[in-house]
Structure formats: C-alpha cells, structure tokens
Amino acid sequence: MIIALLSHSQKDIKEKTSCVETTARSVGLKISHSKSKVMKISTKSNSDVLIDRQSVENVTYFKYLGNYLAADGNINREITARVVMAATAFYKLNAIWRSNRITGRHKIETVHI
C-alpha cells in the first residue's frame, strides 16, 4: 500500500505521520520506517520525521504512481523513463516491422492503435 502525505509545514507532516501510524497500529498494521521516504521541497528544516521512533530516510526524488517526482522540480529522470518505455514498446513490435507478410498499411495502422 502506498500512502502519500503532503504538508506545508514540518509540524503538520509530523502530526499526519503520527496519526497514520496510530490508526494503522489500531487495526493491526505496522508502517515500515525502512520502506518510508520523506522528500522536502523548499524547506530549510533539518528536523527528522519519525516512524516507530526511527528516522525516515530523506530523498531528493522518488517514484509515485509511475511518475518520478524530484524535490528540485527537475523532470529529466521522468523524461528519460518515458523515452525508455516508448523505445521498449516500439522494440516489441520489431517482428511486425520486419515481416514481409504484413502490408505497410497494416503496419501503419498498428502504430495508430
């Protein structure tokens, strides 16, 4: 399960994290601090976010719902990932492009699907 908590202040994110942790514990779930990440955007705060009294790792980017998010707003990693996905999809059609049994019209229609 993925949960994303967003906040405008360090205090607020700590309260939200504590609330989620308490609620999870009340239904028998445990949030893993080793699988949790914190990304700080436009903040100078060095205060740690804790889960189960352990500090959560600070990261400068992470992948959420299939997209790369970066603390500095840089989208190069996201663009590279999308280009790789497109190239991979195109390569999977290689047998169709090379086939002499499929007409050019059908090959073009394949691209438009």
CA–CA gap between residue 10 and residue 58 (Å, rounded): 13
Q: What are residue 58's DSSP bridge partners?
A: 38
pLDDT mean over 66-86: 91
51 CB burial (10 A radius; 0-12, 13-18, 19+): buried
Supply 109's token pair: 């229609």
Q: What are the sequence ranges of the domains in the chain?
A: 1-71, 75-113
Q: What one-letter code names the amino acid at 8?
A: H
Q: What one-letter code names the amino acid at 48?
A: D
pTM summary value: 0.62
Q: Which of 21, 72, 70 is nearest to 49 (CA)?
A: 21
Q: What is the pLDDT of residues 27-62, one digit of tens each?
A: 999 998 888 888 888 877 778 888 888 888 989 988
